[in-house]
Amino acid sequence: MIRGVHHVAISTPNLNRLLAFYRDQLGFEEIQQTSWPRGTGQIDRVLALHDCSARQAMLKTSNLCLELFEFASPEPAPMAPDRPVCNHGHTHICMDVTDIGEVYNRLLAAGVHFHAPPQDFGGVWATYARDPDGNVFELQEIVAENDPAALFH
């Protein structure tokens, strides 16, 4: 039986930059960093890669872990930093906040690119932004706790 979501993973060309963003700007706690050399068969099998090597960091916030990978091999293909969210695959990570206006203004001042200011969806305020690699994340503030529909915006 599935108990819930444990973590989301992101591959990045610059682990230090993305780690600093999620840790220092969004408040995730760094839990661990590790790496593995080429030829680690067990990891190659699990990831369906050949002779992979990478650095990895795990971060945690109240109910979500975020795993970051910087692969040295095989050489990854770059992602377009303005990849539309309608493309197949991962679209965004949503983080629930308590004061979306404060978080939005703080991140905006830090240079984070937002698609739009927070919008009122009736019971939920939300906006999308991009991390330094162009990955989309959503900020949401549920303001109508008693509205079941607001919990699944």
User: What's 57's domain CATH number?
Assistant: 3.10.180.10
In this structure, the answer to whether residues 58 and 119 fall within a common structural domain is no
Tell me the per-residue pLDDT of 127-151, one tens digit each, with 9 for 90 and over. Answer: 999 999 999 999 999 988 665 555 5
What is this structure's pTM? 0.84
What gap in Å lies between CA 39 and CA 53, rounded to an integer?
8
Query: What is the total count of domains within the chain?
Result: 2
Is 81 contained in some domain? Answer: no
Domain assignment of residue 27, given as a range: 1-73
Per-residue pLDDT, 146: 65
Q: What pLDDT, on the 0 to 100 scale, is given for residue 147?
A: 59
For residue 116, give both structure tokens.
């739009």
Strand partners, 139: 95, 127
Q: Would 83 be classed as within a structural domain? A: no
pLDDT tens, position by position, 77-92: 988 888 898 887 888 9
Burial 37-58 (b: 16+ CB within 10 A, else e): eeebeebbeeeeeeebbbbbbb
